[in-house]
Amino acid sequence: MNTYIALLRGINVGGHRPLKMDDLRQLFSEMGYKNVSTYIQSGNIVFDAGDETNPAFLSTQIAVQIAETFGYEVPVVIRRPDEVRELLANFPFEEKEGWKGYISFLANKPMNEQAAELVACSNAVEQFKIQGAALFSVVDKQAEATPRFSNSFVEQRLGVPATTRNLRTVGRIVDIATD
């Protein structure tokens, strides 16, 4: 059995693209996935995909089914639990008092030039590092300056779909996937 984590972009944010987790679990079950679990309302799904081993296929299949069932397009990023656990273990920043850490899961590895440009945006309020198809970020939540960091900021700079989770959420998703 192949276990995966699906990370949906932009659902249940500010009343846009509402999607109940019960409905999402039901959809995944109807698609033939087993042991479907969700965590909080932001679109974190752990599921077993049987013999399927192609994350890109799963991502497309799930995105198409969500569009057909709920009427709107939602980018879906798929990762294996061991990949997510490794990203969390290798988080390159220290979370200091007042700072919050994030991992942005990218649909594809960004071009080197775009990745370098985003990393160069690091400053005293927000810092960035890219590893493959993941962006690590820390943001000073107590700074007087307003951080630019958001999914839209990341996507505009890198030219790839992204969905971001804080470290606590990432840790909980990994726990669910490995229980």
Q: Radius of gyration over alpha carbons of the chain, in Å?
A: 16
Instruction: Give the CA distances from residue 143 to residues 6, 126, 146, in Å, rounded to whole numbers and listed in that order.
Output: 32, 10, 7
- Three-state DSSP at 147 gives coil
Strand order in the sheet with 76-79: 34-39, 44-48, 3-8, 76-79
Q: Is 175 left (phi over 0), alpha (psi -120 to 50) or beta?
A: alpha
Whether the pLDDT of residue 2 is over 70: the answer is yes
Report pLDDT for 148.
Answer: 85
Q: Quickly tell me which residue has 């399927």 as its tokens.
A: 52
**pLDDT one-digit tens code per residue, 109-119:** 999 999 999 99
Please give the Cα distance from 27 to 45 (Å, whole number).
11
pLDDT band at 21 (very low <50, low <70, confident <90, very high): confident
Average pLDDT, the chain: 92
pTM, entire model = 0.93
Which has more pLDDT, 148 or 27?
A: 27
The domains located in the chain, with CATH, are 3-79 (3.30.70.1280), 82-178 (3.30.70)
Asked whether the CA dihedral 170, 63, 114, 163 is positive or negative, the reply is negative
Q: How many residues does the chain have?
A: 179
Q: Which residues face 99 on adjacent strands?
A: 140
